[in-house]
Structure 1
Amino acid sequence: MKFALNSNLRPLQMALLGSMTVVAVGFAGSAMAENRVTYKSAKAGTSYYQMGVELAQAMKEGTNGDVIVTLEESQGSVQNVMEAPSRKGNYVFTTPPSLVAAAENSKGAFEKKPDEKYKEIRALFPIPSLTMHFVTREDAGIKSFEDMAGKNILVGKGTFSANEGTKYLNLFGLDGKVNLANVELNNAVPALKNKQIDAFVTAGSFPSPNVIEAAASLPIHVLSMSDDQVKQTGAARAVIPANTYNGQTEEIVTTSLPVIAYTTTEMDDGTAYTLTKTFWEQRDKMAGNAPWWNGVTPEMLMNVSGKMHPGALKYYAEKGIEVPATAK
């Protein structure tokens, strides 16, 4: 009887097992289709955090929801790099290439925390650069760096723009000739408007939100550097197009610090390829909503330090986009 019972049920059991297998495969396919990525960039409320929001939305739309990007707040680029050796899976972070080089060679901030796993960092694609802005009140009469002598200048403290701003003032012969204002950078626009300061220094992708705010509040002038001054800084030359800011009728020559989106060898080639491909396919759409993406071009890949991820290299090879020989 027992054998007969099993025989009678066998067709039904097989049918049920078949259905369960289809359902299981369906769930597995669904789980595999959704690829989760952690993106770590900057502090909430900053322009770079906002870029992360835009990038996450672009990835979701560009892959029909197959790639889901989760943003993590960061204290800065150094932290982003320092976390790379310990992060598993699809960890994407932003940083200037110079910090990756420093980490790989145990220099600077990484001298006391060396780790061989820094050599497993891989580049994906560029994002808007940190562009230097020297913003002055129109009525302060500052048309060149030399005109800053005797003026009240806000450079801030402990930030990239503060360090670079101070460096540039010294390089251009203004060491000890300007009054450095004791005002926080987030109060720069009110201080400029109330004539507490004559100028402030800020770094951000253009158009920079605080420069937009300043230009909307009062007549301003953003200083342009000569080619010799750009060479003195040792930084990459950047051009802010005319009409980027209210009242700006000419292009502004300045400098910038490239910023790259990196991952590690923990990411598989397929995911890296999809992220890179989707980024470039969505770039124009992102630029339509946020103009700072207009400044991102394939030529910026030449700023990459270290190796590129094989998945990203596959995309660039397909499109005939040049990358540094050292990145392959």
Structure 2
Amino acid sequence: MKLLLKTFAIASAMALTAAPSFAQERITYKSAKTASSYYQMGVQIAEAMRTGTDGAVVVTVEESQGSVQNVMEVRARGADYVFTTPPALVGLAQGGKAMFEGKGDPSFDNIRALFPIPSLTMHFVVSTDSGIEKFEDMAGKNILLGSGSFGAREGEKYLSLFGLEGKVELADSELSNAVSALKNGQIDGFVTAGSYPAPNVIEAAASTGVRVLSLSEEQVAQTKRTPLTIPAGTYAGQEADVATTSLPVVAYTTTAMSDDTAYLLTKTFWDQKSELGSAAAWWNAISPDMIANITTAVHPGALRYYEEVGAPISDAHK
């Protein structure tokens, strides 16, 4: 991994000398609710684009109510539109399936990927006092799932998959109360999904002894989600890697965007990634390997950049 990142960075620097000149580009970046970490990421990307292009790219970050809305807005947006969503939703939109059934539109076929951003990462966080060391130990314990979020739905699904449905006492509270409830002994653990390191998990680990549970290889396979490893030392007291699952998230645009603009955005993102990581640790989880999480076509401009730097791309991306 380190060698791949080093090679990628060197190739990226070489590509810089061959980059074409650009007039100022104005981009609208549709992310998430203002209170979310993904909105904050959008603000960080906007700053990275401004810095990395000496002001040649100006990004305006727009609040969104969610990934489905981001995809749906493709129908009315133009060449300046960049948005974030899990790759799976793009596939559903292009196939007119699930939440897009009866809402299909030819514009969905023009969606193209630019670059990966931090994944939604499942965290099963328990207090060390609870005695929970593995997933099945949650039987008979009080666990907070929250409600309405991806993490809550996914957590509930995992309890069912792993034989714990009806065996866990579910706390009737919002996820925003999780850290204080854990610290006060009102709950034994909570489930949250967010890019790692997740702020609420950092807070919990700093204020009380916690353990982030690992899933077995078999359990990860059962979820049919993308495997992800949270490296040892990510959270206070975490001495070993944590095997968990994730929902990849990617920045997209459409074929209405010019190849040169897509090239510039993609190159600038990767050129600025180390600076992004210095400002916010969740960017350090991004690597060229995560391009493999993109399951639909990559924008030709972004593809040109990836080919120049020798990034791991597949025929499905072309």
Within 2, Cα distance between the matches of 1:140 and 1:322? 43
Match of 1:128 among 118, 130, 137: 118
- 2:145 is aligned with 1:148: no
The counterpart of 1:226, out of the listed 206, 216, 236, is: 216
The counterpart of 2:50, out of the listed 60, 71, 82, is: 60
Aligned equivalent of 1:96, options 74, 78, 86: 86
Query: What SS class does the counterpart of residue 177 from structure 2 fall into?
Result: helix
Distance 1:319 1:117 in 2: 30
What amino acid maps onto 1:90 in structure 2?
D
Instruction: Give the AA of the match of 1:304.
Output: I
- Which whole-Å CA distance do the structure 1 matches of 2:97 and 2:27 have between them? 29
Q: Tell me the amino acid that sits aligned with residue 263 of structure 2.
A: Y
1:77 correspondence with 2:67: yes
Question: Which of 245, 249, 259 does residue 249 from structure 2 map onto?
Answer: 259
In the TM superposition, what are the counterparts of 1:128-207 in structure 2 within 5 Å? 128-207=118-197
- Letter of the structure 2 residue corresponding to residue 84 of structure 1: V
- 1:223-279, CA deviations, whole angstroms, 9 ceiling, x for partnerless residues? 011111111111111111111111111111111111100001111111100000000
Quote the offset at 1:324 in angstroms. Answer: 2.6
Contact 1:301–1:324 (CA<8 Å) still a contact in 2?
Answer: no
Determine the structure 2 residue equivalent to 1:281.
Answer: 271
What is the CA–CA distance in structure 2 between the aligned matches of 1:158 and 1:61, rounded to whole Å?
37
Q: Which runs of 5+ in 2 are unaligned?
A: 1-21
Q: Which amino acid aligns with 2:307?
A: A
Residue 105 of structure 1 aligns with which residue?
Answer: 95
- Higher Cα Rg: structure 1 or 2? 1
**307-316 vs 188-197, which deviates more?**
188-197
In structure 1, what is the Cα distance between the partners aligned to 2:70 and 2:247?
A: 17
Structure-1-length-normalised TM-score: 0.89
Contact kept in structure 2, 1:189 and 1:210, CA below 8 Å: yes
Q: Is the 8 A contact 1:89 1:267 kept in 2?
A: yes
Equivalent residue number for residue 287 of structure 2: 297
Partner of 2:23: 33
Question: How many residues of Structure 1 are paired with residues of Structure 2 in the alignment?
Answer: 297
C-alpha RMSD of matched pairs (Å): 1.0
Aligned-pair CA distance for 1:153: 0.9
Q: Deviations over 1:27-66 (max 9, x none)?
A: xxxxx72210000111112111111111111000000000
Q: Which amino acid aligns with 1:128?
A: P
**Structure of greater relative contact order (alpha carbons < 8 Å, 6+ residues apart):** 2
Partner-residue secondary structure (3-state), 1:210 = helix
Q: For residue 202 of structure 1, report the CA deviation from its aligned partner.
A: 0.4
Return the letter of the residue paired with 1:140. Answer: S
Instruction: Give the structure 1 partner of residue 8 of structure 2.
Output: none
**Runs of 4+, deviation exceeding 6 Å:** none
Report Cα offsets for 1:192-227 as digits up to 9, x if no partner. 112221111001111001101111111111101111
TM-score (norm 2): 0.92
Tell me the secondary structure at the aligned position of residue 132 of structure 1: strand
Alpha carbons 1:276, 1:315 under 8 Å: kept: yes
Deviation at 1:318, TM superposition (A): 0.5
Give the share of equivalent positions with the same residue, in percent. Answer: 61
